[in-house]
């Protein structure tokens, strides 16, 4: 919620000019920020998945590795929300609405990561099967948080702003998202 509050303040401060940034500039800022976040999270997740897949792995190390991943991802999601807030809003009839949707999606992802970090920190590891089930659930929850970002990005296309849609389609860093 901090990101949304910050964004409201930034967007309100911009309301005097109401100019916004060019759609192409906005698309580049947004997609490169999301791509950076996604790349870091994917790399960390793959590394942790390899450790978890090793049946002989020490549960204490798995728990610590998961906590470290979630701590880093939570920090990265906060950085993402700040970057999205700093991207301003695109020129157009619905520019502020687009910006708020994306910032809200980043805020949701941040909340999911925080909740899962807390769940892992509190998780007992004595029962390996229960702990493994919890890890699987955490993975699903983190994936759902990432999907919130994708849904926010997809919602931009539902706004109906042709210039913004073209900018997102043309931006190289948007294509892989």
Q: How many CB atoms lie within 10 A of CB 42?
A: 11
pLDDT for 157: 65
Domain count, the chain: 1
pLDDT in tens, 83-111: 999 999 999 888 898 899 899 989 988 99
Q: How many CB atoms lie within 10 A of CB 41?
A: 23
pLDDT for 158: 66
Query: How far apart (Å, rounded) are the C-alpha atoms in residues 139 and 142?
Result: 5
CATH of the domain at 165: 1.20.1420
Kindly list the averaged pLDDT for each block of 10 residues, start to end, along the chain of length 177.
43 54 94 89 78 74 88 92 94 88 90 92 90 86 79 72 87 84
Tokens found for residue 66 = 């998961």
Has residue 119 been placed in a domain?
yes
Give residue 130's domain range: 2-11+23-175
pLDDT in tens, 115-131: 999 999 999 999 988 88
């Amino acid at each position: 919620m901090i990101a949304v509050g910050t964004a409201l303040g930034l967007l309100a401060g911009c309301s005097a000019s109401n100019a916004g940034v060019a759609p192409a500039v906005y698309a580049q800022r947004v997609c490169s920020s999301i791509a950076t976040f996604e790349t870091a999270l994917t790399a960390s997740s793959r590394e942790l998945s390899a450790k978890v897949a090793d049946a002989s792995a020490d549960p204490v190390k798995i728990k610590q590795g998961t906590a470290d991943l979630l701590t880093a991802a939570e920090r990265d999601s906060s950085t993402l929300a700040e970057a999205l807030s700093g991207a301003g809003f695109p020129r157009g009839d619905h520019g502020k609405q687009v910006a708020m949707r994306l910032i809200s999606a980043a805020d949701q992802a941040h909340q999911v990561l925080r909740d899962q970090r807390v769940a892992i920190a509190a998780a007992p590891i004595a029962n390996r099967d229960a702990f493994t089930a919890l890890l699987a659930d955490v993975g699903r929850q983190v994936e759902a948080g990432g999907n919130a970002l994708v849904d926010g990005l997809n919602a931009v296309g539902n706004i109906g702003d042709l210039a913004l849609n073209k900018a997102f389609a043309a931006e190289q860093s948007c294509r892989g998202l």
